[in-house]
Amino acid sequence: MTLANITIDTALRDPNLLGAALGPSTTWDVWISILRAAYGLELSASERVSFDAVAGGREPPHKRVRELWCIIGRRSGKSRVAAALADFIAAFQD
Protein backbone atom coordinates (compact mmCIF):
# COMPACT_ATOMS: atom_id res chain seq x y z
CA MET A 1 0.00 0.00 0.00
CA THR A 2 1.41 3.40 -0.97
CA LEU A 3 0.58 6.66 0.75
CA ALA A 4 -1.43 7.79 -2.27
CA ASN A 5 -3.72 4.73 -1.96
CA ILE A 6 -4.66 5.30 1.67
CA THR A 7 -8.23 6.52 1.99
CA ILE A 8 -9.58 8.49 4.94
CA ASP A 9 -11.39 5.45 6.37
CA THR A 10 -8.30 3.24 6.06
CA ALA A 11 -6.20 5.81 7.90
CA LEU A 12 -8.78 6.25 10.67
CA ARG A 13 -9.33 2.53 11.21
CA ASP A 14 -5.71 1.39 11.05
CA PRO A 15 -4.07 1.43 14.52
CA ASN A 16 -0.69 1.83 12.82
CA LEU A 17 -1.84 5.06 11.18
CA LEU A 18 -4.40 7.44 12.75
CA GLY A 19 -6.66 4.81 14.31
CA ALA A 20 -4.60 4.57 17.48
CA ALA A 21 -5.58 8.13 18.40
CA LEU A 22 -9.30 7.46 17.99
CA GLY A 23 -9.64 4.13 19.74
CA PRO A 24 -12.10 1.42 18.65
CA SER A 25 -13.27 2.22 15.13
CA THR A 26 -16.84 1.03 15.70
CA THR A 27 -17.52 4.10 17.83
CA TRP A 28 -16.51 6.27 14.88
CA ASP A 29 -18.56 4.53 12.18
CA VAL A 30 -20.91 7.46 11.54
CA TRP A 31 -18.01 9.91 11.30
CA ILE A 32 -16.15 7.58 8.95
CA SER A 33 -19.26 7.25 6.76
CA ILE A 34 -19.61 11.03 6.55
CA LEU A 35 -15.93 11.48 5.72
CA ARG A 36 -16.06 8.75 3.05
CA ALA A 37 -19.02 10.57 1.51
CA ALA A 38 -17.22 13.92 1.74
CA TYR A 39 -14.31 12.42 -0.19
CA GLY A 40 -16.71 11.09 -2.83
CA LEU A 41 -15.95 7.46 -2.00
CA GLU A 42 -18.58 4.79 -2.57
CA LEU A 43 -20.51 3.88 0.58
CA SER A 44 -21.32 0.34 1.67
CA ALA A 45 -24.90 -0.49 2.66
CA SER A 46 -24.18 0.06 6.37
CA GLU A 47 -22.29 3.29 5.66
CA ARG A 48 -25.22 4.50 3.58
CA VAL A 49 -27.57 3.85 6.51
CA SER A 50 -25.28 5.91 8.77
CA PHE A 51 -25.05 8.68 6.18
CA ASP A 52 -28.82 8.77 5.63
CA ALA A 53 -29.43 9.00 9.39
CA VAL A 54 -27.63 12.35 9.60
CA ALA A 55 -27.77 13.83 6.08
CA GLY A 56 -31.28 15.23 6.18
CA GLY A 57 -32.46 13.40 3.07
CA ARG A 58 -29.50 14.44 0.91
CA GLU A 59 -27.80 12.09 -1.51
CA PRO A 60 -24.11 11.38 -0.91
CA PRO A 61 -21.85 13.50 -3.12
CA HIS A 62 -20.44 11.85 -6.25
CA LYS A 63 -17.10 13.63 -5.95
CA ARG A 64 -14.98 15.14 -3.20
CA VAL A 65 -16.67 18.13 -1.60
CA ARG A 66 -15.03 21.53 -1.40
CA GLU A 67 -16.38 22.21 2.11
CA LEU A 68 -18.02 20.07 4.77
CA TRP A 69 -20.39 21.72 7.20
CA CYS A 70 -21.62 19.72 10.20
CA ILE A 71 -24.04 20.89 12.86
CA ILE A 72 -23.08 18.71 15.79
CA GLY A 73 -23.79 18.63 19.50
CA ARG A 74 -21.42 18.54 22.43
CA ARG A 75 -19.11 15.59 23.02
CA SER A 76 -19.54 14.21 19.52
CA GLY A 77 -15.85 13.92 18.72
CA LYS A 78 -15.55 17.09 16.64
CA SER A 79 -12.08 18.02 17.89
CA ARG A 80 -10.69 14.50 17.49
CA VAL A 81 -12.09 14.11 13.98
CA ALA A 82 -10.91 17.58 12.94
CA ALA A 83 -7.41 16.81 14.22
CA ALA A 84 -7.37 13.39 12.54
CA LEU A 85 -8.60 14.93 9.28
CA ALA A 86 -5.88 17.60 9.42
CA ASP A 87 -3.28 14.89 10.05
CA PHE A 88 -4.66 12.81 7.17
CA ILE A 89 -4.48 15.74 4.76
CA ALA A 90 -0.95 16.65 5.86
CA ALA A 91 0.39 13.09 5.73
CA PHE A 92 -1.42 11.47 2.82
CA GLN A 93 -2.45 14.17 0.34
CA ASP A 94 -0.61 16.57 -1.93
Average confidence (pLDDT) per 10 residues, the chain, 94 residues: 80 89 82 95 96 94 94 89 92 85
Angle at 47 between CA 30 and CA 37, to 5 degrees: 80
**CA-to-CA distance for 65 and 76, rounded, in angstroms?**
22
Give the pLDDT score at 35: 96
Q: How far apart are CA 38 and CA 20, in angstroms?
A: 22
Query: What is the predicted pLDDT for the residue at 66?
Result: 96
Q: Quick one: which of 26, 85, 31, 38 has its CA closest to 53?
A: 31
Q: What is the pLDDT of residue 27?
A: 80
CA distances to 27, 57, 86, 89 from 83, rounded to whole Å, are 17, 28, 5, 10
pTM, 2 dp: 0.87
Q: Please report the pLDDT score of residue 34 as a whole number.
A: 96
Report which of 10, 13, 32 is spatially closest to residue 81, judged by C-alpha positions. Answer: 32
